[in-house]
Structure 1
Amino acid sequence: MGWISAPEYWLGRLLLERGAAAVYLIAFVTAAVQFRALIGERGILPVPRFLAGQSFWRTPSVFHLRYSDRLFAGVSWFGAALSAAVVAGVADLAPLWAAMLMWLTLWFLYLSIVNVGQSWYSFGWESLLLETGFLMIFLGNDRTAPPVLTLWMARLLLFRVEFGAGLIKMRGDPCWRDLTCLYYHHETQPMPGPLSWFFHHLPKPLHRIEVAGNHFAQLIVPFGLFAPQPVATVAAAIVVVTQLWLVASGNFAWLNWVTIVLAFSAIDQSSLGAVLPMPTAPALAPPPVWFVAVVCVFTVSVLFLSYWPLRNMLSARQRMNMSFNPFHLVNTYGAFGSVGRIRREVVIEGTDDARIGPQTVWQEYEFKGKPGATGRLPRQWAPYHLRLDWLMWFAAISPDYAQPWLRPFLQRLLQNDAPTLRLLRHNPFPAAPPTFVRAQLYQYRFTTPAELRRDRAWWHRALVGEYVRPMALRK
């Protein structure tokens, strides 16, 4: 690897760029499909109301100029189209400056969405996608060899993601230190997947090995990313394998996929060619002087901004998933500093009875991803992100999480609001809206293998109590 360029990383760059563009595509489509109900003009947390109390420099966004649902849809679908073009290789056919402009446009459009998304966009993978997407601006295209400094910045980002997640676990819940967290995690994670039941029922000694392996992958392996080859490639491969394990065991939107994409920054062709047949490397010109200068400025800026996340990682009061600037650049990451021992779910019900009494029949609304009906196997949704379903998990932990949005959500169910109902799997009142809706709190657990065979149910649930009292529209 030379000081300026590294032609042997051309394949890693290709996978890194195309992968980041594919995640952008999913993120923009997610925004386009869900925004009207969540943050639209008549949404649960409307953007215009939010922007009334914000300045551009506090929440940089194109929507400070003007907001309308039509404009938001246009931004989302244009971002999706541009992402698809980059996935198809258009950026590699364009001049270098034009490719950089494409990536800059994707970053600013998605930043504009995240900064007005409020609670629905408060997840760490939003910042991770933005930071990764901004880094892509300085990675070049097929017209030049990959710049060394940008590849190192990608590895530094991956290091912060993995090592930060490892530290927060060791400082957090004691079950990470006694290797028992996976006795509970697969059952209590935000949105289980179709294999989560099976992961939960693995033998407990294997769960302890999983946790120990996680500590190795997040606390030891990240240092290997900065080692000479082939050690760096081996470290990256371990990251990929552990992230695929997480993909199989649950639904974490695009968090795992962006992490996998970043791992390609440490994989060179010669190391990968030792185990897999590789295509012939193209002849790549050195990057132009102006591009090298821009990359150097970018690198110095990243190293300067790294002070805050590194200080956070070294702090005894380490915080998870935090941005230190409104542009979501050079953030701190981490997940599952604590693990729940029991799972609770908020179940939304409605009735069309004129009055509530002992004989009232309540019918349940079914969500697309979160657990509901006990006989329904959880679905695989990631890397697509069901924002409402995820916040329902937080609501079950504490009503404080649901304070801004749950009652407006219930009010829209009382109106049979079409955009809101499209976020759900099943509306029990298709002909006319319900008279009353309420929320009940249940405790869920995975059934045992014997219970599954007997009851044909993946979950067992028991009522904990009332979460939101029956409510009706005001007349």
Structure 2
Amino acid sequence: MEWFTASEYWLSRLVFQRALAGLYLVAFLTAALQFRPLIGDRGMLPVRRYVDLVPFKAAPSLFHFHYSDRFFALCAWSGCAVSAALLAGVDALLPLWAAMLLWLVPWALYLSIVNVGQTWYSFGWESLLLEVGFLAVLLGNDEVAPPVVVLFLLRWVLFRVEFGAGLIKMRGDACWRNLTCLYYHHETQPMPGPLSWFFHRLPRPLHRAEVAANHVTQLVVPFLLFTPQPVATAAASLMILTQLWLVLSGNFSWLNWLTIALAASALRLPDTSPAVPDTPVWYTAVVLTVSALLLALGYHPVRNMISRRQVMNRSFDPLHLVNTYGAFGSVTRIRHEVVIEGTADGTPRTDSDWREYEFKGKPGDPRRWPRQFAPYHLRLDWLMWFAALSPSYAGSWFGTLVERLLEGDRATLKLLRHSPFPPDAPPRYIRARLFRYRYTTWSELRETGTCWERTYVREYLPPTRLAAERS
């Protein structure tokens, strides 16, 4: 069975599996700490309401059979525990079949969460984690050498992630073609990081060189993944360096880290493989059968990539086994932010004592410097960026967010960095205003120490109070 396995990728598999387990842990921790105000029974988009409208076949999930906040918390924290066990290498201590089942557990649990997560879980890295997590089930443990076909499928996913992102850029926005998108991107990206200001202030010729290098990395280098070593390792290494550059420049949840883990599986690392028994026939049959199915399903993302109407971040099956990826097909030139304020005054006026709610990650107070959160994902902060682009993106949840703030809901307030009102003394009125944000210049930074300057644009939501108080 030498044709079936590649023992020289033993260490690469180990690095990939441990990195994936760590990202699973982050994903489940994010779900456990944020689900109540987002999709819980008193959440902005409750799971119970969703599963009443969407059949199991369209969105397979454990929560179609039973939902309660306590049961969701049990699933999320169980996912954390299993992920931690995999990170510690427990799978290597188990029989092969048991290790495969152990890797199947976090995939099934996270699939159940994503399929009822609605808008809050509509990001491409959710599907990517599930697609890659399913392939991890087939990789085996210390009882077998890594299967060649699964290593190929991991490279195939990496190819689609990078090449698909490159194509959507070239098709989507002229600034990618004329190399000027980075004149704006670091300032207008969804959640800037602590170094984003400095990336934005790099010389424009360097920005153009960055975009050109990105096109090479995403449109040319992915093909080299399927060439003989050491060329494939060089290609994967270049992708890792590019992703680390993106990690430094912003907060993109676990997208960059998961891409790095995928690239690590293609590296030819020093051979440390021990002697292993012959590969079981049943394992070979399972891997080949499932791999053939996945390759057949791959028709859909390939057709999407070559289509002039290419779409980003869409799954082609309810199990998220094959998906299409891509980001920033268009780049916004101006940054807008929704600022939410409350007042305890009985009659809201322009000169009332309006106090601002501060979010953890999204820009708010111009004096507050952005922080690094990725790979942890602040779901509300990300959706607030979309809300600033257009109220239509927030129509399903923004009104409920305002209602919960007016109620002083403790779970919702935990999503924020700071509330100007304690839970037992919420505001009488809340309003939302739209501001234009821009990075300060070098001279402004030296004078004020702030990285943002903001200008009022218009009213986003007029002063609003609870319906019970209006009646």
Normalised TM-score (structure 2): 0.98
Q: Which residue of 2 aligns with 1:446?
A: 439
| d(CA) in 2 for partners of 1:193, 1:2 | 47
Amino acid at match of 1:283: A
Q: Which residue of 2 aligns with 1:326?
A: 318
Post-superposition offset of 1:286 = 3.8
Amino acid at match of 2:389: I
Post-superposition offset of 1:64 = 0.8
Q: Which residue of 2 aligns with 1:457?
A: 450
- Contact 1:395–1:402 under 8 Å retained in 2: yes
Query: Which segments of 5 or more consecutive residues in structure 1 lack a partner in the other structure?
Result: none
Amino acid at match of 1:422: K
Q: Which residue of 2 aligns with 1:473?
A: 466
Alignment of 1:52-451 (within 5 A): 52-269=52-269, 273=270, 280-430=272-422, 432-451=425-444
| d(CA) in 1 for partners of 2:183, 2:20 | 33
Q: Which residue of 1 aligns with 2:28?
A: 28
The alignment partner of 1:144 has SS state of coil
| d(CA) in 2 for partners of 1:134, 1:301 | 13
The alignment partner of 1:225 has SS state of helix
Post-superposition offset of 1:300 = 0.6
Post-superposition offset of 1:357 = 2.1
Post-superposition CA distance 1:259-307 (Å, at most 9, x none): 00001221122xxx4xxxx7x4322334211111111012111110111
Post-superposition CA distance 1:111-159 (Å, at most 9, x none): 0000010100000000000000000010000111000000000000000
Post-superposition CA distance 1:26-47 (Å, at most 9, x none): 0000000000000001111111
| d(CA) in 2 for partners of 1:303, 1:286 | 26
Amino acid at match of 1:342: I
The alignment partner of 1:438 has SS state of strand
| d(CA) in 1 for partners of 2:2, 2:387 | 52
Amino acid at match of 1:456: G
| d(CA) in 2 for partners of 1:225, 1:288 | 28
Percentage of pairs with the same residue: 64
Query: Which segments of 5 or more consecutive residues in structure 2 lack a partner in the other structure?
Result: none
Q: Which residue of 1 aligns with 2:9?
A: 9
Normalised TM-score (structure 1): 0.97
Change (3 A) 1:231 1:183: same
Amino acid at match of 1:429: F
- Contact 1:344–1:443 under 8 Å retained in 2: yes
The alignment partner of 2:303 has SS state of helix
Amino acid at match of 2:351: Q
- Contact 1:186–1:200 under 8 Å retained in 2: yes
| d(CA) in 1 for partners of 2:107, 2:251 | 24
- Contact 1:145–1:286 under 8 Å retained in 2: no
- Contact 1:346–1:396 under 8 Å retained in 2: yes
| d(CA) in 2 for partners of 1:266, 1:108 | 26
Change (3 A) 1:336 1:358: closer
| d(CA) in 2 for partners of 1:351, 1:96 | 60
Amino acid at match of 1:69: D
Amino acid at match of 1:320: M
Amino acid at match of 1:222: P
The alignment partner of 1:425 has SS state of strand
The alignment partner of 1:463 has SS state of strand
| d(CA) in 2 for partners of 1:21, 1:51 | 29
| d(CA) in 2 for partners of 1:360, 1:123 | 39
Runs of 4+, deviation exceeding 4 Å:
none
Post-superposition offset of 1:2 = 4.6
| d(CA) in 2 for partners of 1:187, 1:403 | 25
| d(CA) in 1 for partners of 2:60, 2:134 | 15
- Contact 1:5–1:286 under 8 Å retained in 2: no
